[in-house]
Amino acid sequence: MTDEATAAGSILWRRIDVPGHEAARLVFRDGRRHLLGTAVFAHEGRGCRLDYRIVCDERWRTVSAHVSGWVGGDEVEIEIAHADGRWTMNGAECPQVAGCTDVDLNFSPSTNLLPIRRLGLAVGQEGPAAAAWLRFPSLRLERLDQTYRRLGERAYRYESADGAFQRDIDVDEAGLVTRYPGLWEAESVG
């Protein structure tokens, strides 16, 4: 076993809906996928900084997620763990998201990468992705049933809320979102 890491991609996003930016990096290490990032943005007139580290197994299934930082004057420290369809947050069982495969951070476009890579859809195919959704600003885990449809080589249609929310998103070679209409846009991809 080696501790050597291979970078698979990095990105800098600009938020469109509120002032803010986010930088993320995808790294492969010891057979696992590590998605690391920092989001800095405004929420209801308060500055926010949220750092995250998500670990997935070799099949892109979420194993753990850590989110830390602050929202205004409130500290944030969240540990999420997933094994055998069971989820915990800060050590407490989360039955409302039992059976979900992916974690989804409501404040970030980075986690769209996880089902996109895990599903491995061909152009024209679609697939379901049940996510343990860390909703912002409540920072509670909720079940979010999603569907991804691959529209082109680097284009997907994302749907949630039984189709009430839809966005056609573009991704880079690694699967990181480069355009999420109305919410995020890549400023730098590398």
Whole-number pLDDT of residue 188 = 93
pTM (2 d.p.): 0.94
The pair phi, psi for residue 175, each rounded to 5°, is 105, 5
Whole-number pLDDT of residue 3 = 54
Virtual torsion, Cα 27, 176, 143, 74, nearest 10 deg: 70
On average, the pLDDT of the chain sits at 96
Task: Return d(Cα 178, Cα 188) in angstroms, integer.
Answer: 9
Cβ atoms of 114 and 103 within 8 Å: the answer is yes
Whole-number pLDDT of residue 2 = 44
pLDDT under 50: residue ranges of the chain: 1-2
Whole-number pLDDT of residue 5 = 78
DSSP, res 122: P
121-148 per-residue burial string, b: 16 or more CB within 10 A, e: under 16? beeeeeeebbbbbbebeebebbbbebbb
